[in-house]
Structures are given as structure tokens and as C-alpha cells.
Structure 1
Amino acid sequence: MVRQQPSVVRIGARGSKLSLAQTRTMQLRIAAALGAPPEAADEVAPITVITTTGDRVQDRRLLEIGGKALFTKEIEEALLDGRIDCAVHSMKDVPAELPPGLVIAAVPQREDVRDAFCSKIAPRLEDLPRGAVLGTASLRRQAQSLNRRPDLKIVMLRGNVDTRLAKLEAGEADAILLAQSGLNRMGLGDVPASQIDPFEAPVAPGQGALAIQTRTEDFHAPWLAPLRCPQTALAVAAERGALFALEGSCRTAVGAYARIDGQRLDLVVEALTPDGTRRFRREGAVVLPAEGGERAAVELGLELGAAVRAEGGDALIWTV
């Protein structure tokens, strides 16, 4: 059943500069979908800032305090309580399983998927001096970097994009890794020294994409249709299929990257031991059918993810 077009859509989001930048972009698109001009966006698509546990606790890795769901939990509660009508998340922050009653209703066109290498002393990870300090709170980035450069010293570096860049500037690390998409959305796309090939070092599943989350009954609301990018949704479906198969969380170093050429979807999935010494990788492809393409993408992700999990086993799990 197609629901009646609402007059107002209340948006929930985190309060970081990056979250607000990407949410404001979606706010304008939602306002347009509701038939309102840009200057009326705050009236027809008001933004409610919600502070999450992941935002409040900045001195520990997410795996130590409950995983990346801590970036979505309070926002999802507001959705279920009816205080907001949709949430704008970074897709890579959305856990593999959603709470009952909620759904990813739209996946807009993806930004740059790559990890960005930021440093004042070297143009690439390979060029860092021996024993250099790399700052990251991502277990995946840590493991992939140590796999390529086992001599590096890893320091835990959490915080918003501007906070981590300030720590780099202050010399707390010789280099840091960030998502190029986030830098682009904040107008900082020229900050990185270089970018890392996502096929050589697969990114967090869904990196570069946004997720518009709603209550299940609102999935067919007319205002959502203009926000959807079918190609991005297919690529993200494959990557998140791998995430689900690997039970990916902040306790596993999981990367997945899907690219689409015509009707062909190629997917690479990898998981590493936390110290980067062992790397388990699978590649595959599927020709997407005219109908049921998302199911085929998910199944490929599940297949490759299960193969990686079967080979890596318990060695892939970080124990605190």
C-alpha cells in the first residue's frame, strides 16, 4: 500500500560536523521530494540532533564499549518511539542486523569509497619511515596497514574528522587514515596525501554510502523514491551480505568492496587477524538478473563471506 505523502518529515542525525553536513544534503533532497523549495527545508524536514553513546565515549575502541551499534542505538530508539520519521546514517556505521520494525528505506548515490592517507611526512603508507606512528581506531585499517607495514606502531585515535586531523597536526601520529567520502562532504577533499585502492585493501562495507532509515511501514512513502540509487544499493547489498556472513563488527577486521559494470557485479571480501599477519580473501562475480538483482548481490556476499569465515575461523576475532 502506498502511504499518503506527509507534509513534514522529521530527520534524526548525530551532531558531528560530518553527520550534519551529509544530513543537510539529504534534508534538501527530502524537502524537494515533498515539493518544498530549499528555503523551506528547515520547516518541512527539520533536523533533530541526537547524541549517541559512540559520540560520548571517545577514549576507548568501540569494541570495548559495545560495537558500532552505539552510533545508531539512540537514533533508532527515537525512530521507534515516533520522535523522528527517518535517520541519516553513514552506511558503514549501520550494524549487519537492524532492530525489528526498522528498515534501510533508501541508499542515495555513493561518494568516493576509498580510504584516504593523511600525513605531513610521507605521500603514501609505503613511504612512512620505519617504526612510524599510525593513528586509527578502526580494527580493519589497523590490520590492513600492519599487513603491508608490520613495523608500524598503531595508536588508538578516535574522534570526529576535525578532531583526528587536529591530532595529526599536533604530532600525535605521523599519519592517519580517514574515509575520503567524509572529507569530500566536509569540503576537505584536498587534505589527503593519497588514496588507497579499495580493491587492494577493501573498505568497510558500505563506506562512502549513506543509509536513510525509517520504520518498516514507511518504506513505500513517495518522498523516499527520489533518494534511491539502484546501483549503489546493489553494491552495498553485496558488501553487507559479506558483513552478515562474517558477523562483522568492531571485533573483526572485515573489508568488502563491490563494483558494477553493466549487469556484472564484482566483489572482493577479506578479513584479517588483528595483528595483520594473516589475511583471508575471496573474489567473485555475478551477472545481475533484471529481477531480483539485490537478492543475487546479497547471496554473492554471503557466499564469499562464509568462505572467508570458514578459512579464518576464531583467529579473526579480537578478544579484549
Structure 2
Amino acid sequence: MNQTRKVRIATRGSQLALWQANHVSSLLQARGLNTELNIIKTTGDRVQDRFLHEIGGKGLFVRELEEAMKGGTADIAVHSLKDLPARIPAGFQLAAILPRHIPQDALIFNPKSLARLKVPEQKFLSKADLKNMGPMTIATASLRRQSLLKGLGPQINLVPVRGNVDTRIRKLNEGDWDGLILAGASLERLSLDHLPHRLLADEWYVPCAAQGALTIETPADSPFTKDLAALSDATTYACATMERMILEKLGGDCTMPFGAFFFPDVKKGETIARALVLDYEGQEARYVHTFKGLPDTLDYEASAKTMLDGLKKVGVTDILHALKIKAPILGDLA
């Protein structure tokens, strides 16, 4: 155990980012390490009037944190793993991936719209449930979320939204939107599950790669590697790694409407995997596969290849062409 100095944690200053950093801080303190937070305002936080894919992608939320580690003012950075680019820069490592929170997306309702919408009582909404609720305006900044909703037809009016979780919820309640889509993990972490919401069933609304998982990034030569590795969860690590492998091998980034979700069926000793690539109009290539064995027993590379081969069979080539994305690692797809 390394107790020679404090573990300095680089974090963004949003309510959610601070919860995540403080969560990791408490875990490290329980292991006998002292910690302090280094709050950094990133480019992604400063630019709020455009979509992420228009200003450089999810990497805008992490570059300044990595610069703090390079410059010696921070030892680790805590991220939502879904916000990290598929490829980690040279000189850095993911020292731990923590147990996954809620992986599904949540549709939060404007209280003023509840009387008009036919919102089912069950926890998870299917595609049919959403169609039956009637015309509505939904806010989201994610290309994946937008494209999945476009597949429901013109009854769904989509509007863009940026800002922190509390800002988005305030805009929902003060405006004329009927709903707002956020990661379900955000509601879980911030104790906001009292808000009127339903989760979107992952059978059709496939989450983005590693959604719900927190990770700790460090320099490759970090003296805290062993302490951090002890916080890692084997199942989440396996699932998130395979999900991100698929995205990387497709040549994708935040400009690709992409979903991947691996999860264990412990009773059967199996892993169910879903992968999805959409174009910007809601056309999709979707593949589902059941692997024998739980996630941490699988061959990551082989499992990712199985999903990529499956996507190829269901037409991902055409979707990639529509997205104007080249996939050099899968040369015969492009």
C-alpha cells in the first residue's frame, strides 16, 4: 500500500463528476490512503451551445484531466467510462473499472406532460410502449439516442440539450419538452430516482459502450496502480472492455451512433451481448449473441470478433458507408 503522499484526483466540477470523484476518494480512504480533489474545467464544460460531435467529441471532457496528470498536478482521474475515447493515449492506463451502476438509459418526464402521456407503470419501456404514449418532444444530445428515437417515426420531436445533469433537468421542468433522456446511472448516483422516469429496455435501446461504469485513469507508471486495481470489478471490467473493443475495431468515436452491452446470466452461466450501429436517420444493423461462460471467463478479442462478424451479416457495411466511417481494422467491411 502506497501511503507516501496524497492521491490527487483530477475531476470536472459538475455535480455528477464530483460525486464520482468523491466516491473513489472514499474507497481509497477506506484502504488507508489520503486524497484531495483537483477540480478542472474542461473544454467540454466551457462550450455548451453545440453538440459534442461538432466540437471534438467526448475527448473534450478528458484531455485537460490527462494534462493535469502529465503536468504533475494530479495522480489519477475519475471518468464515466462511456466518456472516454475508445483508444487510451500512450502513457496512460485504466487502472480500475468499478462495479457498474444502472446501464440503461432513463426517460425523465416533465411533470406537466404526465397527464397527457400514456406512461405505463412498469419499470422498463419497450419500443411499443413509447410508440403508444403519443406524440412527444424529447431532449437529448446523444447521436445514438437520437437515432434510436428517429426509428419510431415522426411522432417523436427531437431537440438538442447540453449542460450538466441539474441544468438539463431544470430546462425540462421549466420548458415545453415532454421528456429528457439521461443515463440511468446519473439518477442512481445523484439520488434522483424520485423524478418521474422509466428506463428504456436494453433489448431495443442498447446503451453505449461501458455506460454505467466508472474508471480510474492514471499514468502508466503510477505508484498507486496496485491500490487502484483492488477497486476493480472483474465482471464490469470484462463487459466494458469487450464493448469498447467493438467500437474501436469499427473505427468509431462519438460521431458514430453505436451501442454495445454485455451482461451475465449467472443462473445459466452465460453472457448475453447486444451490439448496434445506426445511421443518423434511424436505419440500423443490430446483432445479439449468447456466449457460453460468464464475462470474465471469455476471450475478449474472440468475443468482440464474434459480435463484429454478426454485425457484418446484418448489414453494418451499409451503415458505415452512410456514416462515412472507414474501418481499417475490418478492411473487408469498408
Fold in common (TM above 0.5): yes
Say if 2:98 and 2:232, in contact at 8 Å, map to a contact too: yes
Larger mean Cα displacement after TM superposition, 230-239 or 169-178: 169-178
In structure 1, the residue matched to 2:319 is 312
SS of 1:218 mapped into structure 2: coil
Q: TM-score, normalised by structure 2?
A: 0.85
* Residue 141 of structure 1 pairs with residue 178 of structure 2: no
SS of 1:10 mapped into structure 2: strand
Say if 1:265 and 1:297, in contact at 8 Å, map to a contact too: no
Unaligned runs of 5+ in 1: 37-43
SS of 2:151 mapped into structure 1: helix
Q: Could you list the per-position Cα deviations for residues 190-235 of structure 1 after superposition, in whole angstroms to 9, with x for gaps in the alignment?
A: 2142111112211011110001001112287331133110011011
Deviation at 1:317, TM superposition (A): 4.7
Which residue among 50, 54, 74 is the counterpart of 2:64?
Answer: 74
Say if 1:168 and 1:175, in contact at 8 Å, map to a contact too: yes
Which residue among 155, 163, 166 is the counterpart of 1:162?
Answer: 166
Q: Which amino acid letter does the alignment assign opposite residue 302 of structure 2?
A: E
Say if 1:244 and 1:302, in contact at 8 Å, map to a contact too: no
Distance in 1 separating the partners of 2:71 and 2:146: 37
* Residue 300 of structure 1 pairs with residue 303 of structure 2: yes
* Residue 266 of structure 1 pairs with residue 272 of structure 2: yes
In structure 2, the residue matched to 1:31 is 29
Distance in 2 separating the partners of 1:303 and 1:220: 35
Q: TM-score, normalised by structure 1?
A: 0.88
Q: Which amino acid letter does the alignment assign opposite residue 73 of structure 1?
A: R
Spell out the pairing of 1:283-298 with structure 2 (5 A cutoff): 283-288=288-293, 293=297, 296-298=299-301
Deviation at 1:284, TM superposition (A): 2.1
In structure 2, the residue matched to 1:279 is 284
Say if 1:135 and 1:154, in contact at 8 Å, map to a contact too: yes
Larger mean Cα displacement after TM superposition, 14-23 or 115-124: 115-124
In structure 1, the residue matched to 2:90 is 100
Q: Could you list the per-position Cα deviations for residues 255-286 of structure 1 after superposition, in whole angstroms to 9, with x for gaps in the alignment?
A: 1111013453221100111111x110112233
SS of 1:227 mapped into structure 2: coil
RMSD across aligned C-alpha pairs, in angstroms? 2.2
Distance in 2 separating the partners of 1:107 and 1:163: 28
Percent identical: 34
In structure 1, the residue matched to 2:183 is 179
* Residue 12 of structure 1 pairs with residue 10 of structure 2: yes
Say if 2:271 and 2:294, in contact at 8 Å, map to a contact too: no
Deviation at 1:6, TM superposition (A): 4.1
Report how many residues are paired.
304
In structure 2, the residue matched to 1:39 is none
Distance in 1 separating the partners of 2:147 and 2:237: 27
Which residue among 217, 221, 225 is the counterpart of 2:221?
Answer: 217
Deviation at 1:302, TM superposition (A): 4.1
In structure 1, the residue matched to 2:81 is 91
Unaligned runs of 5+ in 2: 120-124, 326-334
Deviation at 1:128, TM superposition (A): 4.1
